[in-house]
Amino acid sequence: MKCQFCANPKTRVVDSRPGRENNHIRRRRHCPSCDRRFTTFERLDENFPLVVKRDGRLEPFDREKMLTAVRNSCAKLPVAERHLNRLVGLIETRVQQSRQRKLESQALGDLVAAALLDLHPAAYIRYSMVHRQIQDLQGLKQLLEEGFR
């Protein structure tokens, strides 16, 4: 985002917080060139549902966050980056086409897990361990029984 005072193209986000009713994000930016600060507002794309977190908080659908989680699950596995991008793209499209206003993060995670199972079984296991907060062997055993029926 360009600086509104000196037009320097590189400004830094120093703070961001959701606005009232979660329909926009307010970002505080700093320009290292003229050392001034200004605020921008980002509207959420209304084609995307809000994600309902486990604790009930609402969050905008975050493609980058999903890609990072998927990438971590595939670390050191023979899965190409383009497959990860494609996977996230497919889920993004599905979410958008669902036309729902809200989506449980649990349901979203299940979609990701199912897609990862097609890419690599170890990626599915890694992702699900985190997503379902599996802490012990019993939980892992149950996951394996469900995933690989």
Q: Is 66 exposed, middle or buried (0-12, 13-18, 19+ CB in 10 A)?
A: buried
Among 1, 8, 92, 96, binds Zn ion (CB under 5 A): 8
Shortest Å, Cβ 42 to Zn ion: 19
6 belongs to the binding site for Zn ion (CB under 5 A): yes
Among 5, 30, 71, 117, binds Zn ion (CB under 5 A): 5
Number of residues that bind Zn ion (CB under 5 A): 7
Shortest Å, Cβ 2 to Zn ion: 9
Q: What are the structure tokens assigned to 68, written together?
A: 């990072």
Residues 24-83 touching Zn ion, rule: CB under 5 A, are 31, 33-34
3-state SS track over 67-99: HHHHHHHCCCCCCCHHHHHHHHHHHHHHHHHCC
List residues binding Zn ion (CB under 5 A): 3, 5-6, 8, 31, 33-34
